[in-house]
Amino acid sequence: MKRFSIFTAILASMVLSGCKYSGNGNLIGVQGREEWYQPIPFGMLFIPPGSYVMGPSDQDVPYALTAQSKTVTVQAFYMDETEITNNEYRQFVFWVRDSLAHILLGELNPEEHLIEEDQYGEPIDPPYINWSTKINWNGEEEREALSAMYLPEHERYYRRKEFDTRKFNYEFYRIDYQSAAKKQFKGDNFNPDNGALANRPQGLKDRSVYVIKETINIYPDTLSWIHDYTYSFNEPMTQNYFWHPAYDNYPVVGISWRQARAFCVWRTQLMNNYLKRKGETIVNDFRLPTESEWEWAARGGLDLSPYPWGGPYIRNSNGCFLGNYKPLRGNYLDDGGVQTIIVAHYAPNDFGLYDMAGNVAEWTSNAFNESAYNFTHDLNMDYQYEAKNNDPSVMKRKVIRGGSWKDIGYYMQTSTRTYEYQDTAKCYIGFRCVQTYLGRSMGDGPQSSNVYN
């Protein structure tokens, strides 16, 4: 009798505890989910979804035939208001620098600089960095431990103790979604009796095959100011442009496509780790914009307009230039800047974005193919190719948009396509990030009530 009473009590508790999930027999979804509002990321603007005619809005002056008119649709996203500046990119460089310092000091005092156990006492391998501990750069023991971060004495200039930026390497991971989505074809261990296995053979066995680990040096190529030009004196820019406070709010240059992508990964982790510490849900990744997103954002909602500000002219009604480029026959100063200038100097387009034409050209996420408009989809048009080191150079081309301070007016047009190689860094190419909006558009549903806070 006693055993029966215990069983009845357990059964009753199970039934009662299950009531909150039952919905009285109705389908009500999982209850108790958090109320979530998506704030606009700092320094970004909301770009609404839309359809537009992508491609030439004016004559193809060089007859490059790399673009054609095509109606495409893009979903909503956020985009950086300006190009990434020297000071913003320096935050990334300093984070990598300090990570290296914590690892070196962790060999000296692991309990202070590293987190080697989780909350349950289980070992963490490799350990996390303890960012709550400040780095003492001047302590006697610390100086000795950190000596490996600096240039060896025989490489120093006037005995200046400077960081060896060749060691500023960032290790990160990315998921190869394209490979994960590919189907297996006959002749390659094809199993027609197992549809799932035929679709994604490797992922079912071990998903790690799609997790790609990369390590890249993230310091800008400051020598780009010199190697991009022959018989041109640009040594002062090489010496000062990235680190001097005078250039803090100038667009960062000397960044390769691969470095720009690494920055986006770091920025994503920086935001998501902050949200996790607060117990909040993470958001979409920061990334480079696709070609179609970039052109839609550059047009500012003005369809068939050749320039971000609208109209066919590069001067306003007062005769002033509307962007930083190479005007007329090469009078660089005529538009107000000899080389790069401070971001947001000229008026924004109708989406509020600055410097979508001129100042520095910008990396996109897309590989360059002259005929891409013919075979890409008209929804979120995108063409990507992950070039390997041993691939021919033609496979390493990445699309750049917007023109720069050294380009003629043709490259300022919203539809002009050109390219550079993913491993090259130029003194006239920078980038900005985007983040896909979680939802259809701002103003739809409960997310809209807090987006401007």
Q: Tens digits of per-residue pLDDT, 378-427?
A: 999 999 999 988 999 999 999 999 999 999 999 999 999 999 999 999 99
- Euclidean distance between CA atoms 223 and 242, whole angstroms: 11
- More confidently predicted of 449 and 32: 32
- Lowest model confidence (mean pLDDT) among 21-25, 187-191, 297-301: 187-191
Tokens of 373: 């408009």
Count of all residues that appear for the chain in the document = 453
Work out the pLDDT band at 197, boundaries 50, 70, 90.
very low
Q: Tens digits of per-residue pLDDT, 235-267?
A: 999 999 999 999 999 999 999 999 999 999 999
C-alpha distances (whole Å) from 161 to each of 137, 147, 219, 348 are: 13, 10, 18, 42
- More confidently predicted of 172 and 15: 172
Q: Using an 8 Å Cβ cutoff, are 88 and 430 in contact?
A: no
Q: Using an 8 Å Cβ cutoff, are 442 and 451 in contact?
A: yes
- Lowest model confidence (mean pLDDT) among 71-75, 139-143, 261-265: 139-143
Work out the pLDDT band at 449, boundaries 50, 70, 90.
very low
Q: Tens digits of per-residue pLDDT, 299-346?
A: 999 988 899 998 888 998 888 899 999 998 888 988 888 999 999 999
Q: Using an 8 Å Cβ cutoff, are 96 and 169 in contact?
A: yes
- More confidently predicted of 352 and 175: 352
What is the percentage of the chain residues whose pLDDT exceeds 70? 88
pLDDT at position 443 is 73
List of residues 6+ apart from 127 with CB closer than 8 A? 106, 110, 114, 115, 116
Tokens of 196: 């799932």
Whether the CA torsion 14, 16, 21, 25 is positive or negative: it is positive
Give helix then strand counts, H and E, for the chain.
13, 14
Q: Spell out the domains of the chain, with CATH numbers in brackets.
A: 45-85+220-436 (3.90.1580.10)
Exposed e or buried b per residue across 337-346, where buried means at least 16 C-beta atoms within 10 angstroms of its C-beta: bebbbbbbbb
Residues pairing with 114 in the sheet: 129
C-alpha distances (whole Å) from 284 to each of 38, 83, 274, 434, 442 are: 10, 20, 14, 10, 15
Phi, psi of 243 (to 5 degrees): -100, -20
List of residues 6+ apart from 320 with CB closer than 8 A? none
Whether the CA torsion 242, 245, 247, 250 is positive or negative: it is positive
Residue 43, Cβ density class (10 Å: 0-12 exposed, 13-18 middle, ≥19 buried): middle
Q: Using an 8 Å Cβ cutoff, are 384 and 289 in contact?
A: no
- Euclidean distance between CA atoms 144 and 136, whole angstroms: 12
- Lowest model confidence (mean pLDDT) among 10-24, 45-59, 73-87, 433-447: 10-24
Q: Cα angle at 414 between 411 and 419, to 5 degrees?
A: 50
Work out the pLDDT band at 453, boundaries 50, 70, 90.
very low
| pTM exceeds 0.85, yes or no | yes
| 8-state DSSP, 197 | H
Q: Which of 362, 354, 358, 311 is nearest to 335 (CA)?
A: 358
pLDDT at position 358 is 94
- Euclidean distance between CA atoms 112 and 221, whole angstroms: 34
- Euclidean distance between CA atoms 353 and 345, whole angstroms: 11
User: 355: left (phi > 0), else alpha (psi -120 to 50), else beta?
Assistant: left
- Euclidean distance between CA atoms 259 and 430, whole angstroms: 11
User: Which helix (H) or strand (E) is 418 found in, with range?
Assistant: strand 418-421
- More confidently predicted of 166 and 116: 166
The Cβ-side half-sphere exposure at 97, using a 13 Å CA radius, reads 16
CA Rg value for the chain: 27
> Is 80 exceeded by the pLDDT of residue 198?
no
